[in-house]
A and B are shown apart, each in its own frame.
Chain A
Amino acid sequence: MGGLTRNKTLSIMALGAMIGLLLLPIVVSMPALAGGGGTPAAGGPPPDVAKKADTPEAAKVEKGRDVYYKTEGIVSGAPAPKTADNPQFYPRYNFESRVLLWFANQQHLYYGSFVLAVPIFCMIIEFMGIISKDKAMAKKYDQLAYDFIKISLTAYSLTAILGGILIFTFLTLYPAFFGYLSSIFRPVMHIYALLFVAESGTIYIYYYGWDRMKEGLLKWIHVSMSVVLNVIGTTLMFLANSWIGFMMSPAGVDEQGRYLGNIWHSIHTALWNPLNVHRLLGNMAFGGGVVAAYAAYRFLASKTDEERAHYDWMGYIAMAIGVAFLIPLPFAGYWLMREVYAYRQQMGITLMGGLLAWLFIIQATMIGILFLSANYYLWQAMGRMRGAEKYQRYIKYMVFVLVCGFLIFITPHTMVMTPTELKAMGGQQHPVLGNYGVMSAKNGGINVIITTTVLSFIWYARGNKVPMVSWARFGNIFMGCFFGMAYINIIWLAIYGYYIPANVRVGLSVPQVATTLSCLFFMTALNLVMLKGAKHSGAIEWGKISVRSQYALIMLATAFTWMMGLMGYIRSSVRLFWHVNEIMRDNSPWAYTHTTGFAANMISFNVLFFWLTILFVFFLATLGVKKAPVEAKVTVPGRVPEPATH
């Protein structure tokens, strides 16, 4: 007993040491990189540098003013190249270079986010396996985590290959721009490359050491390794984000684009952190979707009940993780948009109200589809529990609420119409539906959808259980009242927004979100307490789920992929004709914004290509081990795992 505790302490210490070692070079290198040696976070040149400027020997040192931080720094780089439309700056094939780059970038991003997200799942699931008291369950979780990392290993090498292709595309087609970017981010790019090596090493030890390190202390070290793996992976992504952040909202350079010696300024631009959070959550949701689709594919292809049970369960876990990260995603997106508006109002209007507004309608539709699919899956999943019938007859009302929220969420502010219809309507805005086109109503719509999703989750969680606590009735009534008031509050705030000035109105989204989150946290917590010692009206019969549910999972994954492509396109094209916003102009013949139709086709092509290649990856994963179903057989069928995160 004592040995076990000691092992745990040791392993936690080992974990701490590994993280510390890993972070050390970054911590050490940061101030060293930051030009004049000033503290990175505080920004600005240290006082001694400013003083030196007055002395004659430093007089020839030219100074520049940071475009964003407004601090002064010593010019230590060439100005951004002024390109012209010729093969010297833009070497090209007989084809639009931008589309080639788009393709390479998007594929790299798909695989990149997949291999960043899956180790995070692995970490969570492996950890759940370790802390699980039930031996059979523990083994099942462990096997699942192993399955996950197996898929991601092939995807990992593909990511590296695609990354190489991406760099070559940049170097050959946009040498001037890439040269400029790498002149600023030179040290970051080296750290990036080194971290990539570290990531590869860790992931291989992690994967191949799985069986060797399955007992006692070694197992804990193994889990710690997954933590290290994820720390590296996340840092990698943050570094890559700093480049796109720099392109959108440059900092650390003067007006001509000359580097001012403080790399932290160039990394920590106005949009860096919102992008980091948004991408991290997005990757997790996306990864969950892809794994769920993999499980659905294996479910549909299964020939035995054991296989079906295993993949049904896997799909459920992956979906739950995906949706858990999908729920906060709109709020992260909201934060990003706020920061965009704060950075440049014009950029915000181009996104939300101007040139790219149509793409946002498509995005709204995709978000709606995601939530609808998730709800549909949960209702279908109730079919595998006895006793969930009592909730199924309310499905029609939930559909109604969801569809109403969805319709409001996607109603365009300016409608597509023929000139005849325009005359009949008497204006670009419809007097009734036009009201749904503004932010106030849309916030209401999406919050209603999310709250309903939470409700679906709660019903699913108690599908086959009857609460036995003495205050069960009060609990149910309280839950009902709370949800009811939450709906009323959300809708009321949406209506209230029409009656108050815009500057007060924009603030209303915060209480709306708080209402939704209150439902999420309080009600799931209350539900957990109520279900303690609950009576089971029947076991969950894994594998006895309708085929439709699996198609819903595939739909979910496809919608994720499509939306990721779309949002990436929007984020990138908001720079309009700039390589680096307001610093380096894009003078290639492809500096225009594509039509919505072309963009949609291009995104669809990227999605299709990704799914075809990842199907190949899935296929490879099935080649390796044919013994998986046998192992699955060992586990106790029909055991009820707790819903992963809810």
Chain B
Amino acid sequence: MKLILWAGAIVGAIALVVLLVMVGGLLPPQTIKLVEGYMPMQLLAELAFFVGVFALISYLLKQNGLGIPRFWQGLSFWIFILLYLTYRIYPPIPFSVRALFGTVAMVGVFMWVSGAEEDWKEFKKPILNVLDAVTPFHKALRTFYLIAIPIILWGFSYNSFLPNLDEPIELRTVHPAPPASTKVHGKTFVLQTSSNPYRVSPEGKYDQEYTNTLITEQSMGRLLKPDANPWDPKAEGYLKFVREGGEIFFQNCHFCHGDNLNGRGLHAFAFNPIPANFTDPGTLAQLQETFVFWRVAKGGIGLPREAFPWASVMPPWEQHLTTDEIWKVVLFEYWHTGYYPRTWD
């Protein structure tokens, strides 16, 4: 039993060292792969693993008379979380979210160290020691803080007064509420009830269930379903329309939205914000097909009032494509990303 505990602690310690090396910048965070599609759970699992490891190490050290004081446990765990969030996750998390996570983690650490009265007393001890200056060392420390804290605060104030050259942050409404209906090429489409005329079964009837079985499979990459290759010259019906949509996409859209539909086309980085990433579960998968149709047809210029600050340079494609072509492109986008359009019933 003891052996297992020690083995676990050693594995954990190694993992910790690896993480620290990543923090030091000697290893890129992608060394231990964050597997696409599993990343959210992987992240939680990794954190849970580290919590277990810390509990184990702390327990073993305590058994051997080397217990770490609560104060340092709490502080170092919080720092660990901050480092983990900053250096482990790629691409980097924006500061606003890291600040949010860091604050919640701090609250969590506080709840932990003050959960039981004994723990809280133990946690407070080093702080009170310094405040009461129980030994000459503590006294020196207290004097140091007395000088250092105002200087740090001064530093913060100074920094905040420095002129800031960054663009201001904008709260952007990415998916504004759509209008009830939209008029394209003289025809009115009611968004709640319209459907893609090309999402059809072999008999030519609208059938989402059928078309959903033919979209690409999402696992490690995107795989064609067997017998569902749109570029097969014999492909008919839905698959044929997907191919036609693909051709339109690559003639018009891929320059910005990218040949993998991930919003990183040739010109993507000339724009701010960069074009929408359709492979993200938060874009196409969240929207009705008619919403996408409306956005493609009307472009950035047709964004409604609430979509402040209308940060989109997408052309209104109704000026360049026919209604049918727009529907086919939408069809292709859903097929390629492997997402189902949202439905409300």
Residues of A within 8 A of B (CB): 341, 345-347, 349-350, 353-355, 357-358, 368, 372, 375-376, 379-380, 382-383, 389, 392-393, 395-397, 399-400, 402-404, 406-407, 410-438, 441, 495, 498, 501-503, 546, 548, 593, 596
Taking CB atoms, residues of chain A closer than 8 Å to B286 are 353, 438, 502
Taking CB atoms, residues of chain A closer than 8 Å to B100 are 410
Cβ of B344 and Cβ of A411 under 8 Å apart?
no
* Closest residue on chain B to residue A411 by CB atoms: B97
Q: How large is the interface on B (under 10, 10 to 19, 20 to 34, 35 or more residues)?
A: 35 or more
A308 to nearest B CB, angstroms? 16
B186 to nearest A CB, angstroms? 23
Cβ of A354 and Cβ of B104 under 8 Å apart?
no
B227 within 8 Å of A by Cβ? no
Complex Cα spacing A636 to B139, Å: 48
Taking CB atoms, residues of chain B closer than 8 Å to A429 are 277, 280-283
A524 to nearest B CB, angstroms? 22
B178 within 8 Å of A by Cβ? yes
B162 within 8 Å of A by Cβ? no
Complex Cα spacing A434 to B93, Å: 10
B119 to nearest A CB, angstroms? 8
Taking CB atoms, residues of chain B closer than 8 Å to A427 are 262-263, 273-274, 276-277, 280
* Closest residue on chain A to residue B285 by CB atoms: A502
B36 to nearest A CB, angstroms? 8
Q: A416-B169, A426-B274, A498-B281 are in contact. Are A399 and B112 (CB under 8 A)?
A: yes
Interface string of B151-171 (1 = CB under 8 A from A): 000000000000000110101
Taking CB atoms, residues of chain B closer than 8 Å to A350 are 177, 306
Interface string of B173-189 (1 = CB under 8 A from A): 11111111000000000
Which of B40, B108, B262, B341 has the most chain A CB within a 10 Å cutoff?
B40
Taking CB atoms, residues of chain B closer than 8 Å to A349 are 175-178
Taking CB atoms, residues of chain B closer than 8 Å to A399 are 108, 111-112, 115
Cβ of A389 and Cβ of B212 under 8 Å apart?
no
Taking CB atoms, residues of chain A closer than 8 Å to B272 are 419, 422-423
Q: A396-B112, A404-B44, A432-B40 are in contact. Are A415 and B94 (CB under 8 A)?
A: yes
Complex Cα spacing A418 to B285, Å: 26
* Closest residue on chain A to residue B191 by CB atoms: A345
* Closest residue on chain B to residue A549 by CB atoms: B114
Cβ of A426 and Cβ of B263 under 8 Å apart?
yes
Taking CB atoms, residues of chain A closer than 8 Å to B174 are 414, 428
19 pairs from A and B in contact (CB 8 Å cutoff): A345-B192, A349-B177, A354-B173, A355-B306, A372-B111, A379-B111, A396-B55, A403-B105, A410-B104, A411-B97, A416-B171, A417-B96, A421-B94, A428-B172, A429-B282, A431-B36, A431-B91, A503-B343, A548-B114
Cβ of B306 and Cβ of A396 under 8 Å apart?
no
Taking CB atoms, residues of chain A closer than 8 Å to B39 are 431-432, 435
Cβ of B51 and Cβ of A435 under 8 Å apart?
no
* Closest residue on chain B to residue A430 by CB atoms: B93
Complex Cα spacing A416 to B107, Å: 22
Q: Which of B93, B95, B101, B340 contacts A501 (CB 8 A)?
A: B340
Cβ of A502 and Cβ of B117 under 8 Å apart?
no
* Closest residue on chain B to residue A435 by CB atoms: B40
6 residue pairs, one from A and one from B, having the closest CB atoms: A417-B94, A501-B340, A395-B115, A403-B108, A349-B177, A502-B342
Taking CB atoms, residues of chain A closer than 8 Å to B169 are 416-418
Q: A397-B51, A418-B94, A427-B274 are in contact. Are A436 and B40 (CB under 8 A)?
A: yes
Cβ of B115 and Cβ of A424 under 8 Å apart?
no
B43 within 8 Å of A by Cβ? yes
Complex Cα spacing A415 to B41, Å: 20
B116 within 8 Å of A by Cβ? yes
Taking CB atoms, residues of chain B closer than 8 Å to A421 are 92, 94-95
B264 within 8 Å of A by Cβ? yes
Cβ of B282 and Cβ of A413 under 8 Å apart?
yes
A322 to nearest B CB, angstroms? 19
B266 within 8 Å of A by Cβ? no
Taking CB atoms, residues of chain A closer than 8 Å to B212 are 501
Q: Which of B120, B166, B175 contacts A419 (CB 8 A)?
A: B166
A434 to nearest B CB, angstroms? 5
Taking CB atoms, residues of chain B closer than 8 Å to A417 are 94-97, 169
Interface string of B83-94 (1 = CB under 8 A from A): 000000101111
Taking CB atoms, residues of chain A closer than 8 Å to B214 are none
Cβ of B171 and Cβ of A503 under 8 Å apart?
no
B342 to nearest A CB, angstroms? 4
Complex Cα spacing A413 to B171, Å: 12
A602 to nearest B CB, angstroms? 17
A420 to nearest B CB, angstroms? 7
Complex Cα spacing A416 to B281, Å: 18
Complex Cα spacing A355 to B157, Å: 34
Q: A383-B116, A400-B108 are in contact. Are A431 and B280 (CB under 8 A)?
A: yes
Cβ of A345 and Cβ of B344 under 8 Å apart?
yes
B86 to nearest A CB, angstroms? 12
Cβ of A433 and Cβ of B176 under 8 Å apart?
no
A592 to nearest B CB, angstroms? 9
Q: A355-B173, A429-B280, A546-B120 are in contact. Are A424 and B342 (CB under 8 A)?
A: no
Taking CB atoms, residues of chain B closer than 8 Å to A502 are 285-286, 340-343
B259 to nearest A CB, angstroms? 15
Taking CB atoms, residues of chain A closer than 8 Å to B178 are 346, 349
